Amino acid sequence: MSRYRGPRLKISRRLGDLPGLTKKKSKKNGPAGEHGQQPNKSSEYALRLEEKQKLRYNYGLSEKQLLKNIKTAKKVQGSTGIVLLQILEMRLDNTIFRMGMAPTIPAARQIVNHQHILVNNKKISICSYQCKPGDIITVKSKNSSQEIIKNNVNYPSLSNIPSHLEFEKNTLIGKVNGIVERSWIGLQLNELLVVEYYSRK
């Protein structure tokens, strides 16, 4: 299954608030679809699938990418669910988004792909690049790059920058100070259900 490129509000209505996917809010209440208003009892599989879909759509991953990250998280000591969230949060595209340089993760991905961002003074165009404590994230000195980021910084989609990051608006310089804590991950989901979903496949 490839990366989703369809209507974003439809997904956020079905799965709840996904800050990485879109900052728009629907005027309609309830889930999307013809049968969205009808109450239904979800099976255990459906609950696990829904939590997995929240991760996929919020971080803009394909099924193959998410499965790869799950396998990586299982090899690391600690809670697989929390390690998985930390891997996704420390991606470069998400870090750009969390610093306020982009309104959404898809917008941050485009900024990275177009090589507007430097990490430790090196051009990085790989969205899945894993940021590490001590990394310095800057904007290319080109005027067009500076303008794009300045416009985004003036209209941030998130009110607070996570405690593991810092960003100076005047100089457009960001720094990764550590690994993100679970309490700062702005996504309402049960990561254990995601791990269970893949353990049964």
The pLDDT tens digits for 144-183 are 999 999 998 887 666 688 999 999 999 999 999 999 988 8
Structure pTM?
A: 0.84
For 58-95, how does the pLDDT look when each residue is reduced to its tens digit (9 = 90+)?
898 999 999 999 999 999 998 999 999 999 999 999 99
Measured CA to CA, the distance from residue 149 to residue 41 in angstroms comes to 45
Please report the pLDDT score of residue 1 as a whole number. Answer: 43
Coil, helix or strand at residue 189: coil
CB of 139 closer than 8 Å to CB of 146: yes
- Is the alpha carbon torsion for 25, 26, 27, 30 positive or negative? negative
User: β-strands 165-168, 117-119: how paired?
Assistant: unpaired
- Could you tell me the domains of the chain? 8-87+187-199 (1.10.1050.10), 91-178 (3.10.290.10)
Average pLDDT over residues 115-129: 95
